[in-house]
Structure 1
Amino acid sequence: MVEYELARGFGMHFRDYSTVQIVQHCLQQGREGEYWDFKQEWHKKIQDLLKDIICFANTVHDKKCYIIFGISDDLKIVGMTEPRRKQADIIDALSNLWFAGDVSPKISVETVMINGVKLDVLVVDNIERTPVYLNRDYGAMKRGCIYARVQDRNTPNNGNADMETIENLWKKRMGLTKPPYEYIIDRLQNREEWSDYDGDFYNIYKPEYRIHNYQDDEQDTLAAEFYAYTQVNTSVFYSCIDIIANNTVLDTYQIVHLDGGRLHIPVPEWGFIDKKEGYNGHYSYKFYLSDSPRYELLKFMYSSENPEQKMAYNYFAQVVLLFDSKAEQNEFKKYVFSHLNQLENFISVDAKVYNTSDLRGTEKRVVQERLKTGAALNKMLLQWRKLNATSRRSD
């Protein structure tokens, strides 16, 4: 089922899958592509590796790119026999180059196991401020030349990207290649671009892009969710936000106002982890994905410089999970399911007193169980990340 989903249009959703799944998908294509390249061994010359990284940084799309090491020319998983390169050494080499405007590629290196064979995957992050190019010659690369990745080919050392590609890279820098919704979410990171007018926001450079906050009568009857009981003031109310471009509503988010209205954030999503066979139901929790529009909106609305907001958010974050990506969430759920005894133990020993004195009966029991589950899952998430970090260092 996973392979079918990936094959249908994986390129638009790389962030939703693990690195192993990404490598498997790329191999299934039977070729190299705009997002990925195969190498049997690491580059012998660091200059050649940096050139490939710069080419992948200069792509018009908004996705990460992958150089996968340990794959033969006939696309077999064979592993590596020659010396491998470390992430720190590559980052150091990039830092010694003279990039125009100090805009340089961002990379990471991950080691994965597929069919018992160790592969290295160099990830080139998406960059908005394209094109990336040098102010000084380096190796065979010339200053001022723009090297890019187009389909499955890199610009030659003695050449330059074609005019259409260069033009599109400059458009990407200016946000002209994004559809309106993606543009709005992207610009939320620049709070100074948004002007507040009567509770609404509009982009000062594109006033037709707006964030409209309003009350909805249907929201008035909603009960507080469990995380409200981490607050000093457990009263809540709800509203809605519309993301608008040219008077067209592109998306709507429910907003929860916590701690008596001191903290205003998008309602987190529900997640579930099945209990062991023989038990009924599941453990439920609330979460955000840090690479999602919902979380970008949260960062836009929340100010850590406001002491009251910060205190309310810190209480809230004790029982609500924040994942780096959908892929991380999926891998963590597998870990929890294989360590349910540990989760149950964390829940049972949680002695924290939550502000649930106004609740009674079943409602109180359910709220307390969800509060303890959220706190326990956050402990396990921290533990799991430390285990993964240790494992990566050992590779």
Structure 2
Amino acid sequence: MKTITVEGHEIDVLTIRNDIHTPYFLTEDYTSKKKDIQKPKVVLKQNIYTRINDTNTPINRTADVDKIEYLWRKRFGIHLSVEEKVKLYLSDIENWVYDDERAILYYRMEPMFTIEIKRVDYEEKKCQSKRSEFYDQLMIKKGDGFTWEEFEIKYANIVIYTHWVDYLDGGRYMIAVPQHKIISNKSVRRDEMYGIYYYDNSNFQGLVNKILIEHYPGDSREILKSIFNDFIIEFNSGTELKKFVNFLDKNVELLKNDKIFPKLVLDRKYEMEDFDAIEYVVAKKIKWLYENRYLKLE
């Protein structure tokens, strides 16, 4: 609800967005408060109103049953494609169930939707070593105690999406591998390659991470807060990410000016190789710029 003023008159504008939270209705009757009307109009509680082309549902009636059915089908995603349903169900964090013995999560309301953790045979894939990033060393020494495995989002055993999860501290914690984007790659020097580490909570990877944090045994949420929070950024949409990337592109020189960053941001306290330590510090710089420069401009 927003109030705008036009020629000295206040107008209340109610915006109802085209989203999945239909149908909309009142929980109490609403009566017109105009004093010059002999029979005030009443918008009835629990009535569902629609507008089809240029025709409204009469104020003393509710919409036709086929219109109401459509609105409820929209709410529960019944009219969606499989890919659209996956995103809707992943957003319903609370209704996922984790089966530790089978390393699988399933959606309680429609169990044919699953997230399966698949053990990777690195020898079979002809990998010289297991996959890792600098953050795998934040809880351990010399790269021991973590494992990357693949996960698959499936519907009726058909793979919809696949990516990686990261078991930390010998499997006590599990997260979806953070998303990574190179901001500036114009130089071959490692210390001038700027990588942002983030979760976009509107896409599969970000949503899967929320589900793992909520349902995997242990307290991954506290680990993310205490160790990962200094370099991982959470966005609510791809649009938010794009805006911040544009900001960094225009202000990339800030990353070279160590004087503006607190000592804690520049600290390489973990026992990392220079290759990883540089990437870690750069990621912390970007997170600091996001919180202390970018958000203040928004």
Give the secondary structure class of the aligned counterpart of 1:223.
coil
CA contact (8 A) 1:227 1:320 kept: no
**AA partner of residue 317 (structure 1):** N
Structure 1 residue 277 displacement after superposition: 9.5
Q: Does 1:179 align with 2:78?
A: no
| Aligned counterpart, 2:30 | 137
CA contact (8 A) 2:173 2:218 kept: no
| Aligned counterpart, 1:243 | 153
| Aligned counterpart, 1:345 | 257
Cα gap change, 1:321 to 1:163, in 2 (>3 Å): same
CA distance in 1: counterparts of 2:295 and 2:199, whole angstroms: 20
Q: Please say which of residues 135-144 and 167-176 is displaced more in the overlay.
A: 135-144
CA contact (8 A) 2:151 2:165 kept: yes
CA contact (8 A) 2:96 2:108 kept: yes
CA distance in 2: counterparts of 1:199 and 1:319, whole angstroms: 28
Structure 1 residue 337 displacement after superposition: 2.7
Cα gap change, 1:41 to 1:164, in 2 (>3 Å): farther
**AA partner of residue 365 (structure 1):** D
Cα gap change, 1:44 to 1:162, in 2 (>3 Å): farther
Structure 1 residue 239 displacement after superposition: 0.9
Aligned residue runs from structure 1 range 191-206, under 5 A? 191-194=94-97, 196=99, 198-206=102-110
Aligned residue runs from structure 1 range 138-177, under 5 A? 138-139=31-32, 142-143=43-44, 144-148=46-50, 155=56, 158=59, 161-177=63-79
Give the secondary structure class of the aligned counterpart of 1:302.
helix
- The structure having more radius of gyration, on CA atoms, is 2
CA distance in 1: counterparts of 2:276 and 2:271, whole angstroms: 8
| Aligned counterpart, 2:139 | 231
CA contact (8 A) 1:273 1:284 kept: yes
Aligned residue runs from structure 1 range 1-395, under 5 A? 44-46=10-12, 49-50=13-14, 53=15, 56-57=16-17, 59=18, 126-128=19-21, 130-134=22-26, 135-139=28-32, 142-143=43-44, 144-148=46-50, 155=56, 158=59, 161-188=63-90, 189-194=92-97, 196=99, 198-218=102-122, 221-232=129-140, 234-235=143-144, 236-274=146-184, 282-303=193-214, 309-314=220-225, 315-346=227-258, 350-357=265-272, 364-388=273-297
Structure 1 residue 265 displacement after superposition: 1.4
Structure 1 residue 367 displacement after superposition: 1.0
Cα gap change, 1:277 to 1:261, in 2 (>3 Å): closer
CA contact (8 A) 1:304 1:310 kept: no
Structure 1 residues without counterparts, runs of 5 or longer: 1-38, 60-125, 358-363, 390-395
Give the secondary structure class of the aligned counterpart of 2:80.
coil
Number of corresponding residues: 270
CA contact (8 A) 2:96 2:215 kept: no
Cα gap change, 1:249 to 1:388, in 2 (>3 Å): same
Give the secondary structure class of the aligned counterpart of 2:174.
strand
Give the secondary structure class of the aligned counterpart of 1:217.
coil
Give the secondary structure class of the aligned counterpart of 2:281.
helix
| 1:155-181: CA deviation from partner (whole Å, max 9, x where unpaired) | 366475554332111112333223334
CA distance in 2: counterparts of 1:382 and 1:133, whole angstroms: 39
| Aligned counterpart, 1:92 | none
Give the secondary structure class of the aligned counterpart of 1:166.
helix
Quick check: which one's helix share is greater? 1
**AA partner of residue 302 (structure 1):** I
CA contact (8 A) 1:199 1:213 kept: yes
| Aligned counterpart, 1:117 | none
CA contact (8 A) 2:247 2:294 kept: no
Cα gap change, 1:277 to 1:147, in 2 (>3 Å): farther
CA distance in 1: counterparts of 2:96 and 2:152, whole angstroms: 18
CA distance in 2: counterparts of 1:276 and 1:200, whole angstroms: 41
Aligned Cα root-mean-square deviation (Å): 3.6
CA distance in 2: counterparts of 1:154 and 1:255, whole angstroms: 51
CA distance in 2: counterparts of 1:336 and 1:223, whole angstroms: 28
CA contact (8 A) 2:50 2:57 kept: no
**AA partner of residue 131 (structure 1):** P
CA contact (8 A) 1:242 1:251 kept: yes
Give the secondary structure class of the aligned counterpart of 1:167.
helix
Identity of aligned residues (%): 19
Cα gap change, 1:304 to 1:212, in 2 (>3 Å): closer
CA distance in 2: counterparts of 1:341 and 1:190, whole angstroms: 39
CA contact (8 A) 2:183 2:245 kept: yes
CA contact (8 A) 2:98 2:216 kept: no
Cα gap change, 1:223 to 1:154, in 2 (>3 Å): farther
TM-score, with length taken from structure 2: 0.75
CA contact (8 A) 2:164 2:176 kept: yes
